[in-house]
Amino acid sequence: MRSYIGKRLLAIIPIFLFATLLSFVLIHLSPVDPAEVYLTVAHIHPTEELLAEVRHEFGLDQPLLVQYVESLMKMCRLDFGTSYVTKEPVWQEVAHRMPATLQLAFSSICLAVLISVPIGFLSAVYKNSVIDHFSRLLAFFGASIPQFWLGYLLIFFLSVKLDLFPVQGKGTWAHLFLPSLTLSLGLIAIYTRLLRTSVLEQMQEPYVLYARTRGIKEKVIMGKHVLKIAISPMITGLGMNIGKLLSGTIIVEVVFSWPGFGRYFVEAILNRDIPVIQCYVFLVACIYIVCNLIVDLLQMVMDPRISWKGRTSP
Amino acid sequence: MFESKGKILVIMLLILTITLVGCSKPNAAQNSGAEVVQKDKTITVSLPRDIGPMNPHVYNPSQLIAQSMIYEPLVSYKEGGKLEPHLAESWIISQDGKEYTFKLRQNVKFSDGTVFNAAIVKKNFDAVMKNFKNHSWLGFINVLDKTETVDEYTFKLTLKQAYYPTIQELAVVRPVRFLGEAGFPDDGDTSKSVKNSVGTGPWMLTSYKKDEYAEFTRNPNYWGEKPKVNKMVIKIIPDGETSVLAFEKKELDLIYGEGVISLDAFKQLKASGKYETSLSEPIATREVVMNTTKDILADLRVRLALHHGFNKQAMVDGITAGLEEKADNILSKNLPYTNVDVKPLEYNVDKAKAYLEEAGWKLPAGKTVREKDGKPLELELLYEKSDQVQKPMAETLQAEWGAIGVKLNITSLELTAQIKRLRAADFDLYFWSNYGAPYDPHSFINVVATKGFGISESLSSLPMKKELDQQVNDTVLSTDENKRQQLYSSILKTLHEQASFLPISYIKKTAVYQKDVKGFVFPANRDDNPFLGLDTVKK
């Protein structure tokens, strides 16, 4: 197990290097001079003299390779430079906003699990019943509706018309509910159907028939055995959807004025705030890698048939 | 068997939902984490960006509207370009136009109770001049020689040369407004940060949560007429549609600004009849700059043809639904020295075609695009990707000019890329607008004459460009009001006749407010706030 984790951790290095190189190349392929952007967002008229000063200050007059290596070394120290717009250290800005984003993401995952597990499970147990039709409808709706539009709809009906929740901002549980629901609906759509399919598959397995013939209660079979195994693909899906969730927070944070990192990133893109963009790419790459590793380890813990060598035991 | 389990799960879900709903307090005073107690009178507005560090001497990310609530100028800009005393109660300009002596008000205190005097004025100017390169866009900063305190309430500016817009430029929101002693960092260099936002203005920042809200309360030491409401709350709402929904739910009392909500949203709120709406005087002119250094556009007749070749009134009405006003002048007449009568270049397709024929652009049989020496009459118009008005206008011009045989390619760019091409004069046609009050008209004529902004470069093929540059220079050096007016009239008339600027519409600010909000007036200064006279009759 240790060697497996070690190998997986080593594999992070090339992935991380590739992600940072890609972001560096993409940023430098842009036709806009970062020094010019820096002065423009500061509302300073970019004379040639000032441009040269800024380029020197940021090391933009160095060869590209030197720039890349330096930025990589700084990243390892969590030094992403200062934001062009706020003139504050990027890491400080991110650290200030990240808790809000994580709170939103975590509550969305919790909400998605709380809603999709019972609905998915019951729609499999009561196949073709009302609850099954409802879950199918929910899945269609959740998978197809654009997040920003769903956000506006929820605000309009639940906030403006019914006055149940505040329209925007952060503070209480009430502020958290609508953005979490908006963000989680896409996940609910996926997990509900995934769990339903998985439970139906497990119900056809011989061990279920064997357990029934042994006289084990149906409740125990379904709850203790079937659900435990059927939930495994959902955990994989959860790991794979973390990225989707993070990109979703960008839209949801803007719609609900949620003061998180996603909103900050949107402004960074609009302002071409390169240090912030680089930091975001770095963080998202790290989150993807770590989440995938955690999901793999969790699955192994939950399903002993999956070996540490990465293949299923007979 | 599972019925009971299913029921339990459904009940659990219901309990969760009810609990979450129960946590909400359904009232309009719900605030982003702010503990709002409806004390006396509060007005809540939205702003798309955080107010920033409230440093009076720097630009982004501090927001102009919030800076103008705390910090005040020596001179204020009023309707019609009148410059009135503010922190300075009077001033004397020397005969040669180089020395400005200001008598300061003697009853002014900062929000922390400290005295406003010539020493603190000088300290602020010194802090600004320490980083004068950052403020080179402001004309008088470039010619400022020295500042001195004559006595406790007399302050003097000395310029290297006469520069008439100095007084007007002292009305801008940044960087020449005044921070109290307690706000200065130990080294006196405000370009990095300030300790506290201590100003002389009517408001004080009393509660602030980055990216969420800012609360301003009345400055008890304010020297002028005090605000009618006790508190102004600015909520940070980046999305215009969310602002509208928050406004409809009465979480906001006022939505104010340029482009803060879509034109459709404004029209919808206006049509509902439930709210008050108003439009400001023109704040700037939306126009298309024609690059005269390009072969096709170097010909005045082609430029005139483009002016006459589209129905401006229909386009402005159709796209902005009357929220903007058709423009015939390069600069709107509510700015100083701009009340110049020019003959509008009206919509006239026949005239447009005749100009093109005269310029040698013929329409070959069976073709839709005119040609000259085998070259098609093809132009490119740049517009900003995210601008809701520029895109439909670009498409309209493409269709309208297509009808007179001009092929218009429209290219959308991000603002930064667009500005880069403007500065390099790498464009045929470019959507542009002037700066508005209190920056114009002198900032406008400055970009006409000064290289580096892209405008002067694009006008460089005009036959009288050198004369224009000289006139601009004479204007800013002028000390005689009549001569200055003559020069402005001449510059504006020449530019109008040369048709290198195509004025389209006058941009206006919008305001939507609840019926219980009273006393809303648009400020004359484009960047100022309108909150001083606001009142509310909220129960």
Whether the pLDDT of residue B229 is over 70: the answer is yes
Residues of A in contact with B207 (CB under 8 A): none
Quick one: closest CA in A to B209, which residue?
A259
Interface test with A, best of B416, B419, B453, B527 (most A CBs within 10 A): B416
Torsions phi, psi of A68, nearest 5?
Answer: -65, -50
Q: Is B238 within 8 Å of chain A by CB?
A: yes
Q: What is the pLDDT of residues B32-44, one digit of tens each?
A: 433 343 457 999 9
Look at residue A171 and tell me whether its pLDDT is greater than 90: no
Q: Dump pLDDT digits (tens) for B294-315.
A: 999 999 999 999 999 999 999 9
pLDDT higher than threshold 50 for residue B235: yes
Residues 232-261 of A with CB under 8 A from B: 254-257, 259
Strand, helix or coil at B217?
strand
- Separation between Cα atoms, residue A47 and residue B334, nearest integer Å: 32
Share of chain B above pLDDT 70, in %: 93
Task: Give the gap in angstroms from C-alpha B395 to the nearest C-alpha of chain A.
Answer: 24
Instruction: Point out the residue among B12, B34, B237 whose CB comes nearest to the CB of A168.
Output: B237
Q: Which residues of A touch B209 (CB under 8 A)?
A: 259
Q: What angle do CA B414, B415, B420 make, to 5 degrees?
A: 100
Q: At what angle do helices A48-58 and A34-41 cross, to 10 degrees?
A: 110
pLDDT of B28 over the 50 cut: no
DSSP, residue by residue, B463-529: TTHHHHHHHHHHHHH---HHHHHHHHHHHHHHHHHHT-EEEEEEEEEEEEE-TTEE-----SSTTS-
Q: How far apart are CA A141 and CA B226, in angstroms?
A: 54
In this structure, are residues A286 and A279 in contact, taking their beta carbons and an 8 Å threshold? no
Instruction: Quote the CA–CA distance of B126 and B139 in Å, as a whole number.
Output: 17
The more confident residue out of A4 and B320 is B320
d(CA B525, CA A182): 41
Task: Produce one character per residue of B472-505: b if its CB has 16 or more CB atoms within 10 Å, e if not.
Answer: beebbebeeeeebbbbbbbbbebbbebbbbbbbb
Q: Do A44 and B59 touch (CB under 8 A)?
A: yes
Look up residue B421 and give its two tokens.
């091409």
pLDDT of residue B82: 93
Least confident piece of the model among A12-26, B123-137, B202-216, B241-255: A12-26
pLDDT exceeds cutoff 70 at B175: yes
| pLDDT reading at B176 higher than 90 | yes
pLDDT at B500 over 70: yes
Is the pLDDT assigned to residue A32 strictly greater than 90? no
Which among B5, B245, B416 has the least Cβ separation from residue A167?
Answer: B245
Are A130 and A201 spatial neighbours (Cβ–Cβ below 8 Å)? Answer: no
CB contact under 8 A, B249 and A175: no
| pLDDT, position B165 | 95
> In a 3-state reduction of DSSP, which class is residue B222?
coil
Q: Sign of dihedral through CA atoms B107, B112, B115, B116? A: negative
The reported pLDDT for the residue numbered B34 is: 39
Nearest CA in chain B to A83: B61
HSE, side-chain direction, 13 A CA sphere, residue B140: 26
B436 Cβ contact list (under 8 Å, min separation 6): B283, B284, B335, B526
Is the model's pLDDT at B192 over the cut of 80? yes
Handedness of CA B177, B178, B183, B189 (dihedral sign): positive
Rounded Cα–Cα distance for residues B496 and B28 (Å): 52
Q: In this model, does residue B17 exceed pLDDT 60?
A: no
Residue among B18, B14, B15, B34 at smallest CA distance from B215: B34
* Residue whose C-alpha is closest to residue B438's, from B531, B523, B350: B523
Give me the pLDDT at residue B203, please. Answer: 96
Q: What local confidence, expressed as pLDDT, does residue B158 receive? A: 97
Q: What is the pLDDT of residue B7?
A: 52
Query: What is the pLDDT confidence band of residue A179, given thresholds at 50, 70 and 90?
Result: very high
Q: Do A125 and B21 touch (CB under 8 A)?
A: no
User: Which of B32, B138, B243, B247 is the best residue to mutate to test the A interface, defined by the most A CB atoms within 10 Å of its own CB?
Assistant: B32
CB contact under 8 A, B417 and A257: no
pLDDT per position as a tens digit, A281-311: 888 888 888 888 887 777 777 766 665 555 4
Q: Do B251 and A118 touch (CB under 8 A)?
A: no
Q: Can you give the pLDDT at residue B38?
A: 42
CA atoms within 13 A on the CB side of A48: 3
φ and ψ of B360, to 5 deg: 95, 5
Lowest mean pLDDT among A129-143, A206-220, B13-27, B335-349: B13-27
User: How many CB atoms are located within 10 Å of the residue B509 CB?
Assistant: 22
* Residue A119: pLDDT over 70: yes
Provide the mean pLDDT of chain B: 90
Per-residue pLDDT for B356 more than 70?
yes
Residue B103 near residue B91, CB atoms below 8 Å: yes
In this complex, do A163 and B26 lie within 8 Å of one another by their Cβ atoms?
yes
Cβ atoms of B204 and A218 closer than 8 Å:
no
The average pLDDT across A66-83 equals: 87
| Number of helices (H), then strands (E), in chain B | 16, 21
Q: How far is A118 from chain B (nearest CA, A)?
A: 7
Sheet arrangement for strand B88-93: B88-93, B99-104, B154-159, B144-151
Q: What is the pLDDT of residue A203?
A: 84
Residue written as tokens 């429209």?
A: B410
Rounded mean pLDDT of B388-399? 94
| Predicted local confidence at residue A304, as pLDDT | 67
> How far is Cα B215 from Cα B482, in angstroms, rounded to an integer?
46
For residues B389 and B321, give the distance between their C-alpha atoms in angstroms, rounded to a whole number: 11
Q: B482 in contact with A at a CB cutoff of 8 Å?
A: no
Interatomic CA distance for residues B50 and B46, integer angstroms: 10
Residue B427 neighbours by CB under 8 Å, 6+ apart: B289, B291, B380, B382, B421, B458
> What pLDDT digit, counting tens, does each position of A77-97 carry?
888 888 888 888 999 999 999
Distance, CA of B211 to chain centre: 22
Distance from CA of A282 to the nearest CA of B (A): 23
Residue corresponding to tokens 């500005």: B419
**Predicted local distance difference test score (pLDDT) of residue B539:** 60
Task: Pull the structure tokens for residue B264.
Answer: 């459709």
Candidate ranges A80-94, A259-273, B48-62, B97-111; pick with highest mean pLDDT: B97-111
Chain B touched by A193 (CB under 8 Å): no
Which of A71-95 are b and which e, b meaning 16 or more Cβ less than 10 Å from the residue's Cβ?
beeebeeeebbbbbbbbebbbebbe
The pLDDT of residue A220 is above 90 = no
The mean of the pLDDT values for chain A is 85
∠ at Cα B336 (B334, B339), nearest 5°?
60
Q: How far apart are the first and last CA of chain A?
A: 19
Please name which of B373, B429, B422, B420 lies closest in space to residue B398, comparing C-alpha atoms.
B429
